[in-house]
Each structure stands twice: as C-alpha cells, then as structure tokens.
Amino acid sequence: MLKVVVVGLGKFGSTLAVHLSREGAEVLAVDRNTRLAEAVADKVTVAVGFDATDLTNLEAYDAGAMDVGVVAIGENFEASVLVTMHLKNLGVPMVYAKALNDSQESVLRRVGADQVIKPEEDMGERLASHLLHDSVVDFVELPQGYSLRRIRVPEQWRDQSLAELQLLGKFKLNLVQVRRALPAEQKGDDPILERIPLPDGSMVLRSGDEIDVIGPDEELKKYD
C-alpha cells in the first residue's frame, strides 16, 4: 500500500489527502492548524496538528517511512523549503513540493524536491492539451482488477531482450514504456531520464530500468 505524508491541508493538500485515502493509500495528513487536521481526521489514516518545520515532530510520526511526501504549504515559502529538506533528510524517496512561481520551483529543486507542482499552471497546461487533442487522456479507467503501474525491472529479467522475456505471453504484462536513467553529461548533474515508448523485441532490459506496464493487479502485486 502506498504511504503518503501530506503537509499543509489547505484546499490542495486536503483534497489530495482525502482522495488518496479513498483510493486505498495510507495517508498521514499534517497541518500546523489543528482545526484543519481535525477536519480530515475521519477521512485519512492519521491526521495531526503540528508544525512540520520542527524535525522532531516529523520523526515522532515516522514521516521518513513514507513512500511519498507532498509539501502542500502555500504562502509560507520558508516552511516549504524546510519541510522539503526534512522529508528528504529523513529518507522519503519521492518528495513533491508545491511552488507558486518559477523561482520557488528552482529553490525547492535545489533543496531536494523530486517534483515541483505548480497547480494553476499545471492545470492550465492540461486543459490546453485536452482542448487541442481530446483523445489525450490523463487517466484511463481500466476494468476492475487491472492497472497501469510502474515497476522496477526484477533482477532475473535483466540483460534479457523483450523477445526472450515475452512479458505479455508469460506474465500477462503489456509494456507501455521503458524508463532508463543514463549517466549525467557533466559531473554533478542529475542523471538523464530516457523514456523509450513501445520498444520492440530487440530491446534488452538493464538493471535499474523501470517499466510502465498494464496488467492484472494480481500479477502486478508480485513486483511491489
């Protein structure tokens, strides 16, 4: 089960926390305003009122054990920076932070945010692409029991071609794309992420690759 800590329960953070919880994620929802935490208390796993810039509070609730952190603090940018740093230092593998503008985005990335969300701009972009290509969908509902998931290539598949592996025939997994981290061009830069859509049978999977596949939940569960 995906474990997510959401810090900041304004409109954005609380909507996110409640939806994630409804879809089965384990959600730790935090706001320094206790009333906002109480407002979602019966809709998330744990809701708590504390100041998340204080590292000891995050430690007390084991925020470092979460898979994903979302820093959804709005106006208080200093707090967003500190909380992003704390979550990364505690070992949260994927931290999303909300930014109000480009300069906030670059600071948040500097302090370790893996993804930066600019809700209004992101929505504007999405709406534009919907209007332009109405067959492009953000979310495709699959039949009950099927999902599109990103999985890390298991060790036993490494160095084998897709033709050899026969993911669809043997594992009922339909491959959509391979995500491969290539070494950075210059020292100190982040690795470059290569996305290879619909690769043919000659493609050889490597250790560290991730693949996006559609398949039955029963099968996908084996690769969690």
Residues that bind ligand ADP (CB under 6 A): 7-13, 30-33, 36, 51-53, 72-76, 79
77/146 with CB nearer ligand ADP = 77
Residues contacting 87, CB < 8 A, separation 6+? 5, 7, 58, 63, 64, 66, 69, 71, 95
Minimum distance from residue 73 beta carbon to ligand ADP (Å): 4
- Pick 31 or 209: Cβ nearer ligand ADP: 31
What dihedral do alpha carbons 20, 22, 23, 26 form, nearest 10°?
60
How far apart are alpha carbons 47 and 105 in whole angstroms? 27
Report in angstroms how near the CB of residue 10 gets to ligand ADP at its nearest: 2
| 115-117 and 94-98 beta bridge pairing | parallel
Nearer to ligand ADP, 39 or 181 (CB): 39
33 vs 101 by CB, closer to ligand ADP: 33
Separation of CA 138 from chain center: 15
CB of 76 to ligand ADP, least distance (A): 4
Strands 68-71, 3-7: pairing kind: parallel
Nearer to ligand ADP, 112 or 199 (CB): 112
**Which residue number has the CB closest to ligand ADP?**
74
CB of 130 to ligand ADP, least distance (A): 23
Q: Which of 213, 201, 194 is CA-nearest to residue 154?
A: 213
Least CB distance to ligand ADP at residue 127 (A): 18
Of the pair 57, 161, the CB lying nearest ligand ADP is at 57
DSSP 141: P
Instruction: Give the phi and the psi of residue 104 in degrees, each rounded to 5.
Output: -60, -40
We find the least distance from the C-beta atom of residue 119 to ligand ADP, in angstroms, to be 8
Q: Return the DSSP state at 204.
A: B
- The answer to whether the CB of 77 falls within 8 A of the CB of 71 is no
Assigned token pair, 70: 């979302």
